[in-house]
A and B are shown apart, each in its own frame.
Chain A
């Protein structure tokens, strides 16, 4: 069975199967029926953590020192326990800010810094290259091994077997093609790759099953159970120390601890882990199961590592390559099918890693490294291109190929210097450099962009110097003397024993120094200068994510204008017309807005929405830039784009924000001022009222005083004049009294302190009474008063005195302007609807239309200016209207100049039957 064409055929069939699964899952996702919306699939997808390293390398490491393989899984278990706090926060932040990658996350936290995103991307790519080369090495080595069947020949070195070298290149190219097919068929606005997730969940199962299969076979097929294996080991003098390896072959405890810590960072910050845990996460709730299912998976896949390792050591004394025990053991027993299954398992593990890792890396390269630089380059005039989706996909595909080729290159240069596990740990140490900036960023608002940059650069530099350089030196691409004597002979700077600290294994050494440099620089530089406005805003968004209601965005203000059509076109350039249309339709549905794309001037919400969509495709920093250019009013030039991107332009953006802030302030001030004005107006009106009243009061007082004094000072006054003056005094006193009581009425009405004494009144009686009391006035003015009253009317509920006041007011008004002698006033009473209506009609000069509302206002009187000032305060009608309205009626006037006026008011009728019943009811 283990013949070349079978192996190749099965391999491609398996890859085809993976692709089919991915394709199917993508179709289902497009149809809205996602297959991966399950916590179990989610947990399985996290197991992409287990790569060819796990598959082959764990056994290799176990065979070397017994326990050195474990921290890499125990660390994650411990870290995942903290995920309930840490990862939930990261998930929430990433969903809210539409984070598309690890670089995006870090860049976004520190003020959407394109520079930081680029640095993270570079570190990630360089750091992961060893890891990728490891997979290539594993696949090609296992392929070569399996090809040698039935001989067990393990390739000793890369150079010695050109076949191996070429195989690795082929593997790299095939995997590149495969990854491109997998992950770059189209752009998804949120960087979701449902197909990929489904495929790697499947391959997690495959590799688990394969490993368990070989484990079971070794334990109970080759040997007679665990007891058998370990007993034999105990009996073997060479191997016996491995049973208590610490302090001896197992290394010391400190490196164990450091490895554990290192793995804790790796599970968070390996780009592929960030991709599947955060970006591809569909539901925060899935985290719950994943927190224990994933560690369980790791436990399961490690259970048989030791038996296989020891089994292999027992079976192949003399140091055969332990990395390949999982293959060579079945091969040695002619278990062809098992060997094939194991090979596929290893292939599965490797391809899963490569696919996810390179997709994640290519996304970062495209969004956070290439696009910001391209947007800067004037010559490309990128913003004028209609459709950028092709460009984006092209960049990603190029990045995938490039990364795999670089991985291959690393493999050629340094691949043979270390065993698999050690290579992997170098990558772990690289991504661990993201820990201070990322973890600090979500818990500490004081972390600044400069601090993060300082930390990342120092940590990476130390990593490079202590891990990567030695690898090159060991492979003789750099002089070995570097390692022994340090650069330029400076012993203190020896890459493997910085500052004289020796005795640590290489990884631990690198970890200690790089973390020290990284965290130290991060904290020190962050504290040395306060964060900028942008950073602070982003810091609050991140650190306080749980204090904000889900779904709320940071700022709602946006300066500059853009038409919704512009925004739509911008979005379409990146995601295509169809996706843009769908996005806008979603927006319309969510916000209940009719046609958002028709807005002449897009509101801030729409602008934000588009920015978020865009960020999902090209990253937050680039999206920000694109939006900033589109929403400027002038025809945009790339000069402006560059100005924004420039370091100095950070200040422009900064002052941009300041201006927004001051606009907010202005708006708040304007609102305050308006409120103040309203209050002042009210105050003024009150003052006006007070001064008008005071003036009105002084007028009769003046007359009274004056005439009283005259009468007093001129006792010789002729009787006629005396009488006249006394009459005036009396009248003015009456006027004063009337005015005072009216003012008091108004004051009580306005403050609500009016006392109402309601009773059932008969309007007929009221009218008769008031007619009688005003008869004097009518006689004086020689105006005839006619009454038109029905025989009986129902009663109304009102304050008798007040209603009388109203009727008196209307009657005296009616008389006021009539020409003496020919005046006629008619007062009528009738039922209308559920109301009683009283009409007071006069044949005076009438009220012009423009005065008909005015006269009901305080201190307003109608009256021909030339005929002299009418008597009265101007308050009567105002009070009357208030009284009538209080009783549930209306008071109004109908009049045409020259044809007299008719003042009418209504009062609601009372259902006396019902009242009576109610009263009876109460009494009973």
Chain B
């Protein structure tokens, strides 16, 4: 199991994706008033993005070799 195998690379990419998703440019987009399904946009974005990220991580990790 070489450490930098495809899985590791994909996960590193996801980490980078997360950093981008939760950084200034993107967050600024959602930093507005308003709600979606009753939940403020920003907070909805946070949890949805976070959940999606976890889901992607799980997908990459649990795929059989």
Contact = CB atoms under 8 A, between A and B. Distances in A.
Direct A–B contact in complex, judged by CB atoms less than 8 Å apart: yes
Interface of A: 66-67, 70-71, 74, 77-85, 88-89, 225-228, 230-231, 233-234, 240, 243-247, 253-254, 256-257, 260, 288, 291-292, 295-296, 299, 303, 306, 546
B15 A82 contact: yes
B61 to A, nearest CB: 5
A288 B3 CA distance: 14
Nearest to A244: B31
Given A81-B57, A84-B8, A292-B54, A230 B39 contact: yes
Given A78-B15, A253-B23, A291-B61, 4 more contacts: A78-B18, A84-B61, A253-B27, A546-B2
Nearest to A284: B1
Contact of B40 (A71, A77, A230, A260): A230
B14 A81 contact: yes
B53 to A, nearest CB: 7
A205 to B, nearest CB: 19
B11 A306 contact: no
Contacts of B33: 234, 240, 243-244
Interface in B15-37: 15, 18-19, 22-24, 27-28, 31-33, 35, 37
Nearest to B54: A295
B35 A230 contact: yes
A292 B53 CA distance: 9
Contacts of B54: 77, 292, 295-296, 299
B40 A81 contact: no
A88 B3 contact: yes
Contacts of A254: 24
Contacts of A256: 22-23, 27
A856 B8 CA distance: 70
Contact of A67 (B7, B15, B32, B42): B42
A306 B37 CA distance: 16
Given A77-B53, A88-B1, A243 B42 contact: yes
B27 A246 contact: yes
12 contacts: A74-B22, A77-B53, A78-B15, A78-B18, A78-B53, A84-B11, A226-B39, A227-B38, A240-B33, A256-B22, A291-B61, A299-B47
A288 B61 contact: yes
Contacts of A291: 11, 57-58, 61
A290 to B, nearest CB: 10
Nearest to B38: A227
Across the A-B interface, the 7 shortest Cβ-Cβ residue pairs: A227-B38, A292-B58, A253-B24, A81-B15, A78-B18, A243-B40, A85-B8
B36 to A, nearest CB: 10
B46 A81 contact: no
Contact of B11 (A82, A227, A245, A546): A82
Contacts of B57: 77, 80-81, 291-292, 295
Given A79-B15, A85-B3, A88-B1, A306 B27 contact: no
> Chain B: interface secondary structure?
helix
Nearest to A292: B58
B38 A226 contact: yes
B19 to A, nearest CB: 6
Contact of B51 (A244, A246, A253, A299): A299
DSSP class of A's interface residues: helix, strand, loop or mixed?
A: helix
B24 A257 contact: yes
A299 B49 CA distance: 11
A546 B5 CA distance: 12
Interface bracket on B: 35 or more
A378 to B, nearest CB: 45
Nearest to B39: A226
B42 A227 contact: no
Contacts of A253: 23-24, 27-28
A85 B18 contact: no
A85 B4 contact: yes
Contacts of A234: 33, 35, 40
A82 B18 CA distance: 11
B60 to A, nearest CB: 9
Nearest to B40: A243
Nearest to A254: B24
A71 B19 CA distance: 11
Given A85-B12, A227-B38, A247 B62 contact: no
B30 to A, nearest CB: 8
Contacts of B11: 81-85, 291
B42 A244 contact: yes
B52 to A, nearest CB: 11
Contacts of A257: 23-24
A240 B12 CA distance: 37
Contacts of B7: 84
B23 A546 contact: no
A306 B38 CA distance: 13
Contacts of B32: 244
B34 to A, nearest CB: 8
A78 B27 contact: no
Contacts of B18: 74, 77-78, 81
A228 B23 CA distance: 29
Contacts of A240: 33
A230 B57 CA distance: 30
Q: Which has the most chain B C-beta neighbours within 10 Å: A81, A228, A303, A546?
A: A81
Contacts of A81: 11-12, 14-15, 18, 53, 57
B3 to A, nearest CB: 5
A306 B39 CA distance: 10
Contacts of B41: 244
Contacts of A243: 33, 40, 42-43
A226 B46 CA distance: 15
Nearest to B62: A288
Contacts of A295: 50, 53-54, 57
B44 to A, nearest CB: 10
Contacts of B2: 546
B50 A77 contact: yes
A241 B15 CA distance: 30
Contacts of A83: 11
A811 B51 CA distance: 100
A246 B3 contact: no
B24 A292 contact: no
Contacts of A67: 42-43, 46
Among B40, B42, B47, the one with the most A-chain Cβ atoms within 10 Å of its Cβ is B40
Nearest to B37: A227
A228 B54 CA distance: 28
Nearest to A291: B61
Contacts of A296: 54, 58
Nearest to B4: A85
Contacts of A77: 18, 50, 53-54, 57
Given A74-B50, A253-B23, A260-B22, A230 B38 contact: yes
Among A71, A226, A240, the one with the most B-chain Cβ atoms within 10 Å of its Cβ is A226
A415 B17 CA distance: 38
A256 B28 CA distance: 12
A78 B16 CA distance: 8
B15 to A, nearest CB: 4
A834 to B, nearest CB: 59
Contact of B46 (A70, A89, A230): A70
Nearest to B15: A81
A225 B31 contact: no
B3 A546 contact: yes
A240 B42 CA distance: 13
A299 B55 CA distance: 11
A244 B40 contact: yes
Nearest to A547: B2
A859 B7 CA distance: 72
A77 B55 CA distance: 11
Interface centre among B7, B23, B27, B50 (most CB of A within 10 A): B50
B46 to A, nearest CB: 6
Nearest to A297: B54
Contacts of B31: 244-247
B38 A225 contact: yes
